Structure 1
């Protein structure tokens, strides 16, 4: 009987630790969202923070009810902006190896028009682009 009660106590402690970790995660996420939201002015952010410090559970529930939809929208927008920034970065470092021959010829023509390369260099770049 003692071993069973020890195991039940262990499971209850694990459940309480789980709930505490979930609560901490929710509070951290709400704090991050408060300071990430550009639609709130400084006073509104200060009031939300005070409410979360004085009445943490009630404040978090009120925040999630009042601003949960916009919270999800901000998160989706941030994910989309990050994905777009990654795609732009990948395109910028990929160089000319993935561009089309027409784009390379156009770029070489721009260099020729700017005087950065000679006519012979332009012909060589054009031949290289067409060979690829």
Structure 2
């Protein structure tokens, strides 16, 4: 350990961390290239070749040129996954309109009524009447 001072250990750890961070970003960019449906096949091939032949420069240029689009595609993918998950839950729970048995239908109707009341579309009195109708 005498031959390797503490400052050299710090620099080695820093460079290793930056290399791992760059690898993570490279894989994120590659998945983003394939996820982008607006980019043509030639565009995808060009970005891939650029990121593979000039890896550090390619990653930096991609993040600068298409960084905002990356975040939009990430958000869209998360929303689509959430919607698919919610749809799956509705189908397996058997709520009406999803091909189920009707279990939980009154709970869904009450939730819709509460949402309408919260948005101000119906009054508290209308909510109570509709609630009594659903529960009976």
Task: Give the TM-score, by structure 2 length.
Answer: 0.67
Tell me which of the two structures has the higher relative contact order, counting C-alpha pairs closer than 8 angstroms and 6 or more residues apart: 1
Q: Among 71, 87, 105, which residue is 1:99 paired with?
A: 105
Partner of 1:61: 60
The correspondence of residues 36-115 of structure 1 with structure 2, limited to 5 A, is 36-95=35-94, 96-100=102-106
What is the rounded CA distance, in whole Å, between the counterparts of 2:53 and 2:12 in structure 1?
26
Give the unaligned 5+ runs of structure 1: 104-128
**Alignment root-mean-square deviation, CA:** 2.6
Task: Give the TM-score, by structure 1 length.
Answer: 0.69
Which one has a bigger Cα radius of gyration? 1
The 1:130–1:66 alpha-carbon spacing in structure 2 relative to 1, beyond 3 Å, is closer
The correspondence of residues 115-126 of structure 1 with structure 2, limited to 5 A, is none
What is the rounded CA distance, in whole Å, between the counterparts of 2:13 and 2:47 in structure 1?
31
Asked if the contact 2:25/2:59 (under 8 Å) is kept, the reply is: yes
Q: CA deviation at 1:55?
A: 1.1
What is the rounded CA distance, in whole Å, between the counterparts of 2:11 and 2:60 in structure 1?
24
- Greater helix percent: which structure? 1
Partner of 1:14: 13
Q: CA deviation at 1:9?
A: 3.1
